[in-house]
Amino acid sequence: MDIKDIQNLIKFVSKAEVSEVKYKTKDFEITIKTPLAGSEVNYAQPAVYHTAAPQQVAAPVQAVAAVTPAEKTEAASDDSKYVTIKSPMIGTFYRKPSPDKDVFVNVGDEVSNGKIVCVIEAMKLFNQIESEISGKIVKILVDDATPVEYDQPLFLVDPS
């Protein structure tokens, strides 16, 4: 069974509105689990199959953090007075210009318009990200050497 066959099987199971299907041969085993029939289906990444040992593919379990409306408004009101420096591109976020150098900014540092606050690597190019506002760094929202998306918040700055 190749990847196309597995994808077709997943589509068939989702249309059949069943919650679980197991398919087993002497070479491998696949288990497809869906949420309750009729609701959205999560597709699993196919496993790499070896003829020596059986493999299983299962839909990932989703964890949802419950946040009360009071917590949402409290967090929003705390951060609303701050200005966010966002990522202008997709890439890897770095706080230092190189591993042996100091970080560009820390929490509590003053930044001015045009000051470099981080570097984002995209396709082996290191792009210096400059602050567009003046103020004090209140919070660093991304860990060093982690991937970032376009328009993802990187820093919170208190402009006062």
Half-sphere exposure in the Cβ direction for 63 (13 Å, CA): 1
Same domain, 119 and 91: yes
Could you report the per-residue pLDDT of 30-48, keeping only the tens digit for each?
777 766 544 444 444 455 5
Same domain, 89 and 146: yes
Contact status, residue 137 vs residue 105, Cβ threshold 8 Å: yes
Could you report the per-residue pLDDT of 56-102, keeping only the tens digit for each?
555 454 444 444 454 444 445 566 789 999 999 999 999 999 889 99
CA dihedral angle for residue 23, residue 25, residue 28, residue 29, rounded to 10 degrees:
20
Same domain, 100 and 138: yes
Rounded CA separation 40/128 (Å) = 41
pLDDT for position 80: 79
CA 82 to chain centre: 23
pLDDT for position 29: 76
Domain limits at 88?
79-158
pLDDT for position 4: 72
Contact status, residue 149 vs residue 89, Cβ threshold 8 Å: no
Q: Between residues 154 and 9, which one has the greater pLDDT?
A: 154
Supply 131's token pair. Answer: 């602050």
Contact status, residue 93 vs residue 142, Cβ threshold 8 Å: yes
Could you report the per-residue pLDDT of 99-135, keeping only the tens digit for each?
899 999 999 999 999 999 999 999 889 999 999 999 9
Confirm whether 70 is domain-assigned.
no
pLDDT for position 63: 46
Give DSSP secondary structure letters for 41-105.
-PPPPPPPP-SSS-----PPPP------HHHHHHHHHHHTTSEEEE-SSSEEEESSSSTTSPPS-
Q: For residue 17, name the pLDDT band (cuts at 50, 70, 90).
A: low
Q: How many domains does the chain have?
A: 2
Same domain, 56 and 124: no
Q: For residue 23, name the pLDDT band (cuts at 50, 70, 90).
A: confident
pLDDT for position 82: 92
Q: Report DSSP state, residue 18.
A: -
Check whether 26 has a pLDDT greater than 60: yes
CB atoms within 10 A of CB 39: 9
> Domain holding 129: CATH number?
2.40.50.100
Same domain, 88 and 144: yes
pLDDT for position 38: 45
Whole-prediction pTM value?
0.52
